[in-house]
Structure 1
Amino acid sequence: MTPRLQPVSYKRHRFPPQIIAHAVWLYFRFPLSLRLVEEMLLERGIVVSYETIRRWGKKFGPEYARRLRRKQPRPTDIWHLDEMGVSIAGRKHWLWRAVDQDGYVLDEIVQTRRNTKAAKRLLTRLMRKQGGLPRRLITDKLGFYAAARGQLMPSVEHRSHKGLNNRAENSHLPLRRRERVMQGFRVPGGLQQFASVFSAARNLFVPPRTRRSTLATHLHRLSATAEWKSAAGVAA
């Protein structure tokens, strides 16, 4: 049985939890800079600095994401793997990401290497978090994936073809847009934390591919908003 998490604590914060949760939602859900979030709150008569919003995102974003991820269905049966290069302080890093057949981000990890060891680390984390093996693994033609799969899950079917892996490659695009708005990331830990919260929020709010009607999308977003508020511990 999964242990119950303690409620989010807002002690020693002068702003109400509803405002904090709303500011964090704006920052991680939309391609907005901290200063734009500050301006949007000011339009509602809420005077708060962008630096305070940054601290709220750093403190509460991971807390909200932990609660959201606990509610997601597992396991899935197809894993799409890919990596995107990110320059941090003049050094190349790699964000290794896994998504399922619906584009739902399963996990992501920032690493300095692009080799078999890095691919194995991603697969090891996935097996632990998903509680088992996938039915199929889909990657591009990078040989490190085949080597890691052969060592960790040799019985799993592996399809290696660039055209089959658009789902994983497309999952990088929203983060790329945020990277431009934020003018890059300053430290690897900052990228890891931001990507984790950003993906949890995106997983929650983007409607499944099978529910694309206007009404279904509207209902999905209402449900997602209620779930976000529940994770933040604020009244719906």
Structure 2
Amino acid sequence: MNAPSDMPRLKGYRFPRQIIAYAVWAYHRFALSTGDVEDLLAERGVTVSRETVRKWVKRFGRHFAHCIKRDRPAAADKWHLDEVVVPINGVKIWLWRAVDANGDVLDILVQPRRNARAAKRFLKQLIARFSRPRVIITDKLRSYIKPIRQLAPDADHRAHKGLNNRIEGSYRPTRKREKLMGRFKSPGQAQRFLSAHDQINTIFRPRRYRLSAASYRHVRSDAFDLWRSYALEMTA
């Protein structure tokens, strides 16, 4: 990814914003470690430490995720909700995720519980952002029943394990990154990282099997244009 070289310099940073944007993109787009990104930059003549890459990813990953959330089109009115365990320091922590009918991740929430209170907190967060859905598909976890009745009484709630295959595939990138990072160190770290990672993957991982080669290249080009515009919005 070659961002325009005439981008204004980022105040307080030694490296141009196009290099920082490239590092954040490479880290989230591929299953790379900060050391891998360090080597990619070194091959291009940019000498930077992996710790610097880590700080860039932490600081600006949130920025890009915020921009993507801000500009994304309206979500489909059919949601898939699911939860999966993420072991952190020997403790079971639950990752709640929602995707729409197009397979785009709406939001995630890392919580220590898998009960009605946790389900209500997550659903409330989703409705505040996207309004009430027409259909909600979940597994057979009974904790969803009461919150959905309270917060989205008109929604068609379909509790069926087999209907939720769309969201099951969205966990693969998470598991890959979790393995590469040697597991998450804290719930806060998991929340910060996955909130950015899922949103960035939304624009750079379209459902390629549904697109012709020409359409895929067009979508990819649009994603790069968006990334460049978001890089211009970066601030110290």
Q: Same fold (TM over 0.5)?
A: yes
1:116-168 deviation line (CA, Å, top 9, x unaligned) = 000001110010010x2111000111111122212222221011111100111
Query: What are the residue-to-residue correspondences of 1:109-188 with 2, within 5 Å?
Result: 109-130=109-130, 132-188=131-187
Show structure 1 runs of 5+ residues with no match: 1-7
Unaligned regions of 5+ residues in structure 2, if any?
Answer: 1-7
Instruction: Tell me, yes or no, if the aligned pair for 2:80 and 2:138 is still in contact at 8 Å.
Output: yes
Q: Does structure 2 retain, via aligned residues, the 8 Å contact 1:96–1:111?
A: yes
Q: Which amino acid aligns with 2:31?
A: P
| Structure 2 residue aligned with 1:31 | 31
The answer to whether structure 1 residue 233 and structure 2 residue 232 are counterparts is yes
CA RMSD, Structure 1 to Structure 2 (Å): 1.6
* Cα pair 1:205 1:221 within 8 Å, conserved: yes
* Amino acid across the alignment from 2:36: L
* Cα separation, 1, equivalents of 2:133 and 2:157: 10
Verify the 8 A CA contact 2:107 2:126 in the aligned structure 1: yes
8 Å contact kept, 1:86–1:95: yes
- Matched with 1:94 is 94
| 3-state DSSP of counterpart to 1:15 | coil
CA distance in 1, matches of 2:168, 2:71: 25
Q: Deviations over 1:169-188 (max 9, x none)?
A: 11111111111111111011
Once the two structures are superposed, the pairs formed by residues 219-230 of structure 1 within 5 Å of their partners are: 219-230=218-229
Q: Deviations over 1:60-90 (max 9, x none)?
A: 1101111111110124210100011111111
The answer as to whether partners of 2:140 and 2:161 remain within 8 angstroms in 1 is yes
Q: Tell me which residue corresponds to 1:5.
A: none
Q: Determine the C-alpha separation between the residues in 1 that align with 2:222 and 2:152.
A: 37
Percent identical among aligned pairs is 48
Distance 2:83 2:9 in 1: 35
Match of 2:4 in 1: none
Q: Which residue of 2 aligns with 1:103?
A: 103
Letter in 1 for 2:26: L
Partner of 2:188: 189
1:67 maps to amino acid: C
Cα separation, 2, equivalents of 1:75 and 1:204: 14
Q: Distance in 1 between matches of 2:26 and 2:100?
A: 26
Query: Does the 8 A contact of 1:68 with 1:228 survive in 2?
Result: no
Change (3 A) 1:71 1:9: farther
Aligned residues: 226
- The secondary structure found in structure 2 opposite 1:197 is helix
Question: What are the superposed Cα offsets for residues 8-48 of structure 1, whole Å, 9 maximum, x if unpaired?
Answer: 98321100101000000001111101111111111111111
